[in-house]
Structure 1
Amino acid sequence: MNLSEQLSLTAQRHPAKDAYIFQGQRVSYQEFDATVTKFASKLSELGYGKGDHLALVSGNSPLFMIGLYGALRAGATVIPINPTYTVDEMSYILKNGDVKAVMTMDVLIEKFEVMDRDLNIGHYFVADTGIGVDLDTSSLNGKMKSFTSVVAEGCLDYETPSLDDQDVGVILYTSGTTGKPKGAMLTHQNLYSNATDVADYLQFNSEDRVIATLPMFHVFCLTVCLNAPVMNGGTVLIVPKFSPQEVFATAEEHQATVFAGVPTMYNYLLQTGKEQAPTFRHMRLCISGGSSLPVALLESFENQFNVRVSEGYGLSEASPVTAFNPLDRPRKAGSIGQNIKNVENKVVDELGEELPAGEVGELIVKGPNVMKGYYKLPEETAVTIRDGWLYTGDMARQDEEGYFYIVDRKKDMILVGGYNVYPREVEEVLYQHEDVTEVAVVGAPDPELGETVISFVVSKNPTLTEAQLNEYCRNHLAKYKVPSRIEFMSELPKNTTGKILRKNLREQLTNSK
């Protein structure tokens, strides 16, 4: 079984159920499945099939859902790309990923005009966003086809090519915080197993209505908000771009039952939603991932909106989910939970030996969701996957009840005078201060101590001083963990998923010298 086959099965079981709702448009599973088949048939007719790489460059929209499932049904490998990437960033992935065709939006045509001469693209399947872009004047006109027309020209009498579980379905390029991004090859088994296991673990059902405001090109949204609901006939509520007002409005209008977001989203919802708590009254579950959710933020959100927030853990190389706080047992604040079904997490030392409960080491994972490897990078693959275990690069510990806690990224650890300082520990303390709304901690070189702790803070109190915060930290942290410097900012740099970019903050420190 793979994602495309599961969609057809769901359409048979729930033909009239809404598969997705987008800007007032409701599309049933029967309609969605038929559209996917028609798109796949036309792709096949145009010469695209098993093993061909097709890029999907789109925001949250029906184009993404139809493009993903249609290309998979045709046997192609899908490479989702962030539509806000620059020409250089996008061009690298298109070249490195050996992309043969692109599914995209009319608003991005100018970017592809710049890149096309250096690429080997056969067709651009372009969706009309309704903003009046004149496609007839494009230099790509000979290669462009209207996405809507292509779907309309497809047929329902189409025989899907035979696919093996180990065939690559999706290549996800990592964010590339160090060096060039790497393409994680996710097989049909990887994608299907994680979607079904997540749906089972989080008890998704046909009555669930899941808000998809995380970027669909990101693996968190791809699996949790898109593929997992499809497993059991849930409805995807497509929100093109995150805004607290849009999330509240969507939750209210469609009686949403599940929301998934990253910590910064929860922070924005909390800060702007004191009068909006009733819009979440149908919500049975809020899911947090992407980075660690500060305990103070989690508890404040739960109290304000009267809804449970369960934190989990995942990474692109694992399709992505490996651990989650269980729904049928206590949720532990600050924990990423326990192993999900069919996946094993383990904390090990530098020799790969499992550590006892309470000790900090590297988190490694194993299961049917672990990637096949990095595209065209066998050496990188060999370093990351050893004896079937995926080495995540995250430092963690496990308690006596099997709950895991992420301490920090291995590369983010700060070494102060021989002592390990984990940024998250300092951030958790600062988040508890009533005037702090956002914080990020990084290390900076120090001639005497090796490294020193630097904190970047966003405060809602313009009179808050560095001295006051330092005093607060000294009351809650060992001396070597107290920031040697605190920088106040109006906002912290983030990527398109809302994850705080520590790399940018480190660069800012370097440039300010």
Structure 2
Amino acid sequence: MHNEGLGSWPARRARKTPQRPALIHDGRTFTYAELDDRVTRLAHGLRSLGVRRGDRVAYLGANHPSFLETLFAAGALGAVFVPLNTRLAAPEIAYQLADSGTSALVYGPAHADLVAGIRDQVPVRSYVALDGPGTHGGHGAQGAHGYADLLAGGGAEPVDEPVSADDLCMIMYTSGTTGRPKGAMLTHGNITWNAVNVLIDHDLLADEVALVSAPLFHTAGLNMLTLPVLLKGGRCVLVGAFDADATLDLIERHRVSFMFGVPAMFQQVARSPRWEGADLSSLRLLTCGGAPVPPTLIAAYGERGLTFLQGYGMTEASPGVLFLDAGHAVSKAGSAGVQHFFSDVRVVDSSFDDVPPGETGEVVVRGPHVFRGYWGLPRESAAAFTDGWFRSGDAARVDEDGYAYIVDRIKDMIISGGENIYPAEVEHAILTHPDVLECAVIGVPDDKWGEVGRAVVVARPGSDLTADGVLAAVAGRLAPYKIPKSVVFTDRLPRNAAGKLLKRPLRTDHGTA
């Protein structure tokens, strides 16, 4: 094959295991041969709309086989895939379509009205609706097409464009916790090497069954779960929306072995009335990211014989950087682990020298999975690297054995009386209290110290947790200057679609003295 990128994966897998199940969705199973055929036909269909090498093809919709078919079809043509966050507002979607210069957009029926409302604001030439051209302002409109029609009209002859590992595969927009999101440019090689790291460090099996309820537009759900499983030849059970009871049903029905989620998802599953009696014997890999895993949650799954595998990553690294294997989940609890097999990680000081064990510095990473830069932002791209190392902006310390502990975002550091306080360290200590479900620590102005910590806490329903109780949990565990000077309670913490805590609205709502 001339195509060495992701667009060739369905064909390569179909010639090895054509009759193995690849995707399961809404009661329907697609074999690898069927996936290959659908991707080929879609690629021809997109080509008939004028999509060519380097053009951007975006997708807006819930988890569905068409998401992956569009990704692979774009790759087959040498085009660039742009996954869009379904939880964004119309102006945010319009910004990303315009910023990326998307020429074709595939979208689900739930987003038809949004798409109709932004047509005049974006450069998109062709709109492909999963339920046909539609009636939401799209029927008869110029550039409107039906997904099923493209498949039916597409040819079956192989599409074998020459695509190299260095060619751009995907523009994945960063979470945008501050300011405008930036489009991380991920090559076919970046994503392939990340998948290889997962295959090695997770010990994936050919008969792996992955439950994909985390959104595919998120780098972890796509690149740490779905694509590595498909590369290995396993099957992915795609779920359009997460539901705790349905999750337990799907685990039993499909004998799910591999799951990824953010802590809030796993918490909901553990609170389900069906939790105690559910058959979880097929589960082998539980990976969690996006936020710290509360100790109470680790204990709840531990009682069922299940261990969380935690790691650390970022969109710019496709995303895997560090991984803590099951063998060290207890002895190195709280650590993000060591670097993936094909990854190099350092923790450096302001002079870019490695910090000694136990001291805090910035995480920098280098490897074949690290992106090439930000779309349309050459200055920001250059500033993101020093001597070939990507600067994460995250603070960490490394122990004597080389295990890294992520401390916090450097920009979130609180400076109190000249002392540096990393909120994540304080949050981890507070989360050991059994009545604390979630916690975030922010800095608030203080006349004496300049800035002090404030804990924003979500209490366990039905508990009688008080501010004094929260502070008592960390007394003696942290240096006095690190202990928050105040505690406020809230019903929920603001998070983005990737599960990352949004501290800007927290500071707005709770950051006044």
Q: Structure 1-normalised TM-score?
A: 0.94
Alignment-derived partner of residue 31 in structure 2: 28
Alignment-derived partner of residue 498 in structure 1: 499
Deviation digits for residues 81-104 of structure 1 (CA, Å, limit 9, x no counterpart): 112211111111111111111011
CA distance in 2, matches of 1:302, 1:434: 15
Alignment-derived partner of residue 307 in structure 2: 308
* Superposed displacement of residue 147, structure 1: 0.7
CA distance in 2, matches of 1:350, 1:500: 26
Q: What amino acid maps onto 2:383 in structure 1?
A: V
- Contact 1:289–1:312 at 8 Å: present in 2 too? yes
The 1:21/1:219 distance shift into structure 2, 3 A limit, reads same
Alignment-derived partner of residue 383 in structure 1: 383
Is 1:121 equivalent to 2:124 in the alignment? yes
Deviation digits for residues 124-163 of structure 1 (CA, Å, limit 9, x no counterpart): 111129xxx9527536732211111111111111332111
Q: Secondary structure at the match of 1:111?
A: helix
CA distance in 2, matches of 1:173, 1:194: 18
Q: Secondary structure at the match of 2:200?
A: helix
Alignment-derived partner of residue 365 in structure 1: 365
Q: Secondary structure at the match of 1:351?
A: coil
Q: For residues 28-177 of structure 1, what are the structure 2 equivalents within 5 Å?
A: 28-128=31-131, 134-135=134-135, 138=138, 141-177=141-177
- Contact 1:335–1:406 at 8 Å: present in 2 too? yes
CA distance in 2, matches of 1:347, 1:104: 41
CA distance in 2, matches of 1:421, 1:277: 43
* Superposed displacement of residue 230, structure 1: 0.9
The 1:140/1:407 distance shift into structure 2, 3 A limit, reads farther
Q: For residues 464-503 of structure 1, what are the structure 2 equivalents within 5 Å?
A: 464-503=465-504
CA distance in 1, matches of 2:78, 2:221: 22
Deviation digits for residues 403-447 of structure 1 (CA, Å, limit 9, x no counterpart): 111111111111111111111222122211121111111112223
Q: Secondary structure at the match of 1:190?
A: helix
- Contact 2:208–2:235 at 8 Å: present in 1 too? yes
Q: What amino acid maps onto 2:285 in structure 1?
A: L
- Contact 1:87–1:115 at 8 Å: present in 2 too? yes
Q: What amino acid maps onto 2:483 in structure 1?
A: V
Q: What amino acid maps onto 2:318 in structure 1?
A: S
Greater mean alpha carbon deviation, residues 170-179 or residues 264-273:
264-273
Greater mean alpha carbon deviation, residues 260-269 or residues 436-445:
260-269
Q: What amino acid maps onto 2:103 in structure 1?
A: K
- Contact 1:277–1:304 at 8 Å: present in 2 too? no
- Contact 1:35–1:151 at 8 Å: present in 2 too? yes
Q: What amino acid maps onto 1:304 in structure 2?
A: E
* Superposed displacement of residue 277, structure 1: 6.1
Give ranges in structure 1 of 5+ residues lacking alignment: none
CA distance in 2, matches of 1:240, 1:274: 21
Q: What amino acid maps onto 1:79 in structure 2?
A: V
The 1:267/1:411 distance shift into structure 2, 3 A limit, reads farther
* Superposed displacement of residue 328, structure 1: 6.1
Is 1:255 equivalent to 2:258 in the alignment? no
Q: Secondary structure at the match of 2:279?
A: helix
- Contact 2:220–2:319 at 8 Å: present in 1 too? yes
CA distance in 2, matches of 1:485, 1:268: 29
CA distance in 2, matches of 1:484, 1:358: 26
CA distance in 2, matches of 1:438, 1:140: 49
- Contact 1:248–1:276 at 8 Å: present in 2 too? no
Deviation digits for residues 438-478 of structure 1 (CA, Å, limit 9, x no counterpart): 11111122232121111111112443222232233334332
Alignment-derived partner of residue 343 in structure 1: 343
Q: How many residues align?
A: 508
Alignment-derived partner of residue 317 in structure 1: 316
Give ranges in structure 2 of 5+ residues lacking alignment: none
Alignment-derived partner of residue 207 in structure 1: 207
CA distance in 2, matches of 1:448, 1:329: 43
Q: What amino acid maps onto 2:303 in structure 1?
A: Q
- Contact 1:267–1:437 at 8 Å: present in 2 too? no
Q: What amino acid maps onto 1:485 in structure 2?
A: S
The 1:413/1:227 distance shift into structure 2, 3 A limit, reads same
Q: Structure 2-normalised TM-score?
A: 0.94
The 1:485/1:340 distance shift into structure 2, 3 A limit, reads same
CA distance in 2, matches of 1:275, 1:178: 37
Aligned-pair RMSD on alpha carbons?
2.0
Q: What amino acid maps onto 1:300 in structure 2?
A: A
Q: What amino acid maps onto 1:370 in structure 2?
A: V
CA distance in 2, matches of 1:322, 1:237: 26
Deviation digits for residues 270-296 of structure 1 (CA, Å, limit 9, x no counterpart): 3336734643211111111223334x1
